[in-house]
Amino acid sequence: MIQLQTRFAAAEPGKMILKLCKHFRHKVPAVFDASRGEVDFQPGRCVLSAEADAVHVFIEGADEAEIGRLKYVLDDHVRRFLRAETLELDWQSAAPPIC
């Protein structure tokens, strides 16, 4: 299992989690509230958690292809929802989030 994490600044992290998860749940299962969201991308999953001024993103997938798809989806949606075309998420190795 490959696990990566990143974070991005957000004026209202809880609202960003709600917005992303509501959007994703139209196609895949998502469970969320204003402080945390979990999206089952089948394959792979994403966990979003609110920080004071940012959103922490954790993804995991079985192989590089799955991780590549997850990174693409998250990069694309975060850029569009923040209206920040030049935003580059800095993905790093990660341990699973504490539930």
Q: Is the overall model pTM greater than 0.95, yes or no?
A: no
User: Mind listing the pLDDT tens digit for each residue in 41-58?
Assistant: 988 999 999 999 999 999
Q: How many domains does the chain have?
A: 1
Q: Is residue 88 part of a domain?
A: no
74 backbone dihedrals φ, ψ, rounded to 5°: -65, -45
> Which of the two residues, 13 and 97, has the higher pLDDT score?
13
CATH code, 61: 3.30.310.50
pLDDT tens string 62-88 = 999 999 999 999 999 999 988 877 778
Burial readout 15-34 (b: 16 or more C-beta within 10 A, e: otherwise): ebbbbbbeebeeeeebebee
Report how far residue 26's alpha carbon sits from residue 18's, in angstroms, rounded to the nearest whole number: 13
Q: Is pLDDT of 11 > 60?
A: yes
